[in-house]
Chain A
Amino acid sequence: MRNMIDVKHLTKTYGTRFNQTKVLDNLSFVVDKGEFVGIMGPSGAGKTTLMNLLSSILRPSLGSIYINGKDITRMTENRLSDFRRKEIGFIFQDFNLLDTLSAKDNILLPLAIDRLPIAETNQRIAQIAALLGIEHLLDRYPEELSVGQKQRIAAARAIIGQPAVLFADEPTGALDSKAATELLRYLDQINQQEKTTILMVTHDPFTASYCNRILFIRDGVFFAEVTKKGSRQEFFEKIIDMQATIGGGPRHVV
């Protein structure tokens, strides 16, 4: 299987020469195409920094990141913008929808620059709306949507550009359990049907249990890796055990 994400010796430091904080230290891992990988770890472990590095929002201090065969650490600012638009999708904890745009226009945002033909965009919207069950919400404004609906719109926006990788940063963090389960099912569907590679940062073992593999990091270095074998319930138990080992402790009790 082809490597979708290939991270080699990734290091990120903040601060001045005399007062440096190493957030990530010599991190290397590979994510294959079509995988649904979770990143877990206690607060301050460097999960969000890792996500920002992988999605090219931050530049690494050392190391390289290959996404879909392209080294994003060597790209110019303009090429990075194109790369972000065409190769990756984002889902944020707080949805980040533009209040002034309708749900449909919010979903279309990543395509707006490329000025695609209406027929093609309509076809894509219809397909994604059907997949996420949001057909009836397209003309509404974000303020008219529930949190679960907002996150589904955000998910639709993330996948409308048919990205190679989907990054989800605590996507269920602001959702109630029902909305969270619903979203995770949709993410699972996207992963299964569209063969989209998903990398998800989460605190929550229940959310993480929808992944195929979990990478645990602590203090900027790899701590462990847990792979799904058997049922989701067993996988969930393993995640809780690993969290207990790390010291983060379970948050979500099923």
Chain B
Amino acid sequence: MLFKIGWRSFLRQSRNYGVYFICMMTAVMIFYSFSAMMNDRLLTQRVQQDIRIEGVLGFGSSIVAFVVLFFMLSANHFFLSQRQKEISIYRLLGLRRGRLAWLLLRETFLLNFFSLVIGIFMGIIFSKFFSMILIRAMGLTLTSHFFNSSRSIVTTIVVFFAALLILSLQVLLFVWRTPMSETLKTDYSLPIKKMKMTPFRILMGILGLILLGVGYYLSLFLKETWQSYITYTQDFSAIIWVPLLILFCCITATYIFFDCTLPALLNWLSQPKRRNIKGTKLIAYNNVRAYLQRTWKSFAFLTVLTAIAISLIGGTMGMISLNYQATSRLYPVSYQVAESQAQQLRETLKDNQVQLAADQTVTFKMTNMAVYTRYLGETTDNNQEEVMVNLLSLSQYNQLRKLLKESPEVKINGQEAALFDSEYDITQAFRSYRDQVLVAGTANFTLVQTELDYLGDDSLRYALANVLVVSDAAFEHLDGYQYAVTYLQVQERLSEATHQTISDAGKTEWIEPITYRLVKKKNGSQAVFTTAEKEHTDQVTVYRLNRADRFTTMRSVRRQGGIILFVSLFVGVIVLITTSSSLIVRQFSNTEREKRNYQLLTKLGYSRQEIRKLIYWQNIWVFMPGTLLAILHAVFAINTLTQIIDSRGYWVAYLFAGAAAVVYLLAYLITVKLSLRIIER
């Protein structure tokens, strides 16, 4: 009998449980698929030379498990509080706590068990689809297949039961710790104090906006803020605490926004305007305001969680893209080779029927350079650095430029020079070069251009961070150690097997050691080179790499990027699904509770259209502010990241922010449609 009563009560919440079920099933499906891919030997072995995908997938599935556990606990707590009336009746009828807990646990187990079974079943079906996406994202030439891993099923079941155990503890705690007097409080009470817009609450609302403004302003002008603060105080800790301050401002502002700012705005909107009293929206504004007073913490948390998810995806994609760009820059052509070994490579390519599209040899001259730099916060140019540099003549640079599509145009005359710095993309925010440089202790040049290094792998150039492009005459005139690098571009995209054969034909090694030391001259120092072994401590011996090929490195980067993109997008999707499901479930219960109010409005002469309008409007105000705020937070967070690391990959985060907007829009439409059905039933 008790079971039947419990079952009926369970069925009454079927709509809420339906949303929970779909969400859990999706989570189980993704978790299982990740686990199945981790256990897919064919896939893992195929990519193990570049990346251990088990690690990334394992990390991703752990995050999925944590997000879902949080969702399970929050949904379970919500369901329990929805059934408080029923629980209180059982307690009044003298049902022991143990039996009551068992009654509730049985339903929880049943619901979760079904989502587990169907989730695994869907996982088995969809794991092929997911691995297809992964194979595509990693650029693999591999046929995906149905992979039914019993180990993955066991892992999923074990993790799921561990989560259920935690859930059971929550149910037991709820039954044991909630006093009888609390369970008897069946109707929620309206926090009247908060409904009244006191000047304090309005001030808090304004403070929320100010905090948000401060956070956004700092994120927009992060670099300038760092610069001015450090220049003024010489306190470099700002590099850490300013981003933390931005985070603090935005999170605190989000909480205040939902507690005070939005209610104050809604209160203002519900006031009579233009000499007319407010229409139906008056009810919507006040309902949302009352709803917010009870759930502002959840709203703020969901908003922050979504914003963090979008920003993390943005950050990850920024890093992946940066890595991709940097690698592409390091390996701009198919092969870079020391001139002494270029002929051998040409012959190997010819033996393998590989046609060359371009073949360019460039001569560098290694020497020393004195440069004045100014670091962030410094006001004077006393910081002189003596660095080794590769000189390149302008004519050779222009020839090479035909191969390096991204390299910029250099315009120099006479004693002018252009500096190519391989760390410029990261260091430019902190370090700037002054105009004058002294090369080889003899010649002064004016720096007219500073660029990122687009000239390929500097390992072939004795691993020196800088290349200085000077006029042909200056290049001829200056002393230094001269060597050459050959850039070869093949005509067609080669197969992996051909690449392997070509790679196997030549060994990658460090060659042509050169020893130098700096000798003091009248104007400065000058590097003196020798091919002999290092004899004194003030001498430095450097080597260079004999060859570098684009294919192997780009393949590795592509695979690493692909798996990280894959995992982060799936984790992001789970975050979106769980957050929107939480909102939907809460809204359903809210509508059930307010059903009587809508019936009253019908009696008071509100037409069906007006009540529908009210539901649409009310739900807009439930879904819209959080979504907008989360996207706005994410956009500013990505902007902040852009200032720290300049990358082209942030578009994925914007795309994901768009996807978040679409998911919340769908959640809104589902909620409205089902709410209308609840009311008009």
A→B interface (CB under 8 Å): 55, 57, 77-78, 81-86, 90, 96, 98-101, 105, 108-113, 115-119, 121, 141, 143-144, 157
CB-CB under 8 A from B606, the residues of chain A are 81, 85, 113
Q: Is the CB of A100 within 8 A of B279?
A: no
Given contacts A98-B597, A98-B600, A100-B195, contact A117 B275 (CB under 8 A): yes
6 closest Cβ contacts across the A-B interface? A85-B605, A84-B605, A81-B607, A100-B290, A100-B286, A115-B276
Residue of A nearest to B605 (CB): A85
CB-CB under 8 A from B287, the residues of chain A are 100
- Please tell me the size bucket of the interface on B: 20 to 34
Given A100-B283, A118-B275, list of 9 further CB < 8 A pairs? A81-B607, A100-B195, A112-B277, A113-B279, A117-B275, A117-B276, A118-B272, A118-B276, A143-B189
| C-alpha spacing A86/B606, complex, angstroms | 11
Residue of A nearest to B596 (CB): A96
Q: List 15 A-B contacts (CB under 8 A).
A: A77-B608, A96-B603, A101-B283, A101-B286, A109-B283, A109-B604, A112-B277, A113-B605, A113-B610, A115-B277, A116-B276, A117-B275, A118-B275, A141-B192, A141-B195
Q: Is the CB of B277 within 8 A of A113?
A: no
| C-alpha spacing A67/B290, complex, angstroms | 38
Given contacts A83-B605, A100-B286, A113-B606, contact A141 B278 (CB under 8 A): no
Q: Does B154 contact A (CB under 8 A)?
A: no
CB-CB under 8 A from A113, the residues of chain B are 279-280, 605-606, 610
| Chain B min CB distance to A11 (Å) | 23
Q: Is the CB of A112 within 8 A of B192?
A: no
Residue of A nearest to B270 (CB): A105
Q: Is the CB of A84 within 8 A of B282?
A: no
| Chain A min CB distance to B341 (Å) | 80
| The residue from A57, A78, A117 contacting B603, defined by CB atoms under 8 A apart | A57
| C-alpha spacing A200/B134, complex, angstroms | 72
| C-alpha spacing A119/B275, complex, angstroms | 8
Given contacts A100-B190, A109-B604, A143-B189, contact A116 B277 (CB under 8 A): yes
CB-CB under 8 A from B608, the residues of chain A are 77, 81
Given contacts A83-B605, A86-B605, contact A98 B275 (CB under 8 A): no
Given contacts A99-B190, A113-B610, contact A105 B282 (CB under 8 A): yes
Given contacts A100-B190, A118-B277, A144-B192, contact A112 B605 (CB under 8 A): no
| Chain B min CB distance to A28 (Å) | 25
CB-CB under 8 A from B602, the residues of chain A are 57, 81
Q: Is the CB of B189 within 8 A of A112?
A: no
| The residue from A77, A78, A84, A112 contacting B280, defined by CB atoms under 8 A apart | A112
| The residue from A96, A115, A117 contacting B279, defined by CB atoms under 8 A apart | A115
Q: Does B601 contact A (CB under 8 A)?
A: yes
CB-CB under 8 A from A105, the residues of chain B are 270, 282, 286
The binding surface of chain A is classed by DSSP as helix
B→A interface (CB under 8 Å): 189-190, 192, 195, 270, 272, 275-280, 282-283, 286-287, 289-290, 596-597, 600-610
| The residue from B190, B192, B601 contacting A109, defined by CB atoms under 8 A apart | B601
Residue of B nearest to A110 (CB): B604
Q: Is the CB of A143 within 8 A of B192?
A: yes
Q: Is the CB of A90 within 8 A of B604?
A: yes
CB-CB under 8 A from B275, the residues of chain A are 117-119
| C-alpha spacing A199/B549, complex, angstroms | 94
| Chain B min CB distance to A253 (Å) | 32
| Chain A min CB distance to B657 (Å) | 32
CB-CB under 8 A from B192, the residues of chain A are 141, 143-144
**Total cross-chain contacts (CB, 8 A):** 89
CB-CB under 8 A from B283, the residues of chain A are 98, 100-101, 109, 112
Given contacts A96-B596, A98-B283, A115-B276, contact A110 B605 (CB under 8 A): yes
CB-CB under 8 A from A108, the residues of chain B are 277, 282
| Chain B min CB distance to A169 (Å) | 10
| Chain A min CB distance to B609 (Å) | 8
| C-alpha spacing A157/B289, complex, angstroms | 22
CB-CB under 8 A from B597, the residues of chain A are 98
Given contacts A105-B282, A110-B605, A143-B190, contact A96 B277 (CB under 8 A): no
Most chain A beta carbons < 10 A, residue from B195, B601, B603, B604: B604
Residue of B nearest to A117 (CB): B275
CB-CB under 8 A from B278, the residues of chain A are 112, 115
CB-CB under 8 A from A98, the residues of chain B are 283, 286, 597, 600
Residue of B nearest to A55 (CB): B603
| C-alpha spacing A157/B603, complex, angstroms | 12
Most chain B beta carbons < 10 A, residue from A101, A118, A121: A101
CB-CB under 8 A from A90, the residues of chain B are 603-604
| The residue from A100, A111, A112, A118 contacting B289, defined by CB atoms under 8 A apart | A100
CB-CB under 8 A from A119, the residues of chain B are 275
| The residue from B277, B279, B280 contacting A121, defined by CB atoms under 8 A apart | B277
Residue of A nearest to B607 (CB): A81
Most chain B beta carbons < 10 A, residue from A55, A77, A98, A108: A98
Q: Is the CB of A101 within 8 A of B277?
A: no
| C-alpha spacing A54/B287, complex, angstroms | 30
CB-CB under 8 A from A112, the residues of chain B are 277-280, 282-283
Residue of A nearest to B195 (CB): A141
| C-alpha spacing A119/B277, complex, angstroms | 9
CB-CB under 8 A from B605, the residues of chain A are 81-86, 110, 113
| C-alpha spacing A157/B597, complex, angstroms | 15
CB-CB under 8 A from B279, the residues of chain A are 112-113, 115
| Chain A min CB distance to B53 (Å) | 52
| Chain B min CB distance to A238 (Å) | 32
| Chain A min CB distance to B407 (Å) | 65
Most chain B beta carbons < 10 A, residue from A77, A112, A144: A112
| Chain B min CB distance to A89 (Å) | 9
| C-alpha spacing A113/B601, complex, angstroms | 11
Most chain A beta carbons < 10 A, residue from B290, B596, B597, B607: B607
| Chain B min CB distance to A70 (Å) | 14
Q: Is the CB of A96 within 8 A of B600?
A: yes
| Chain A min CB distance to B608 (Å) | 7
| Chain A min CB distance to B431 (Å) | 58
Most chain B beta carbons < 10 A, residue from A81, A84, A100, A117: A100
| C-alpha spacing A117/B274, complex, angstroms | 9
| C-alpha spacing A46/B269, complex, angstroms | 44
| Chain B min CB distance to A155 (Å) | 14
Most chain B beta carbons < 10 A, residue from A81, A117, A157: A81
| C-alpha spacing A159/B459, complex, angstroms | 89
Q: Is the CB of A77 within 8 A of B607?
A: yes
| C-alpha spacing A157/B600, complex, angstroms | 12
| C-alpha spacing A77/B597, complex, angstroms | 19
Residue of A nearest to B278 (CB): A112
| C-alpha spacing A117/B603, complex, angstroms | 23
| C-alpha spacing A90/B604, complex, angstroms | 7
| Chain A min CB distance to B420 (Å) | 66
CB-CB under 8 A from A101, the residues of chain B are 282-283, 286
| The residue from A55, A111, A141 contacting B190, defined by CB atoms under 8 A apart | A141
| Chain A min CB distance to B392 (Å) | 74
Most chain A beta carbons < 10 A, residue from B195, B280, B289: B195
| C-alpha spacing A78/B600, complex, angstroms | 16
CB-CB under 8 A from B290, the residues of chain A are 99-100
CB-CB under 8 A from B277, the residues of chain A are 108, 111-112, 115-118, 121
| Chain B min CB distance to A111 (Å) | 6
| Chain A min CB distance to B492 (Å) | 70
| C-alpha spacing A116/B274, complex, angstroms | 11
| Chain A min CB distance to B196 (Å) | 8
| C-alpha spacing A109/B289, complex, angstroms | 17
CB-CB under 8 A from A99, the residues of chain B are 190, 290
Residue of B nearest to A95 (CB): B600
| Chain B min CB distance to A75 (Å) | 12
CB-CB under 8 A from A77, the residues of chain B are 607-608
Residue of A nearest to B190 (CB): A99
| Chain B min CB distance to A83 (Å) | 7
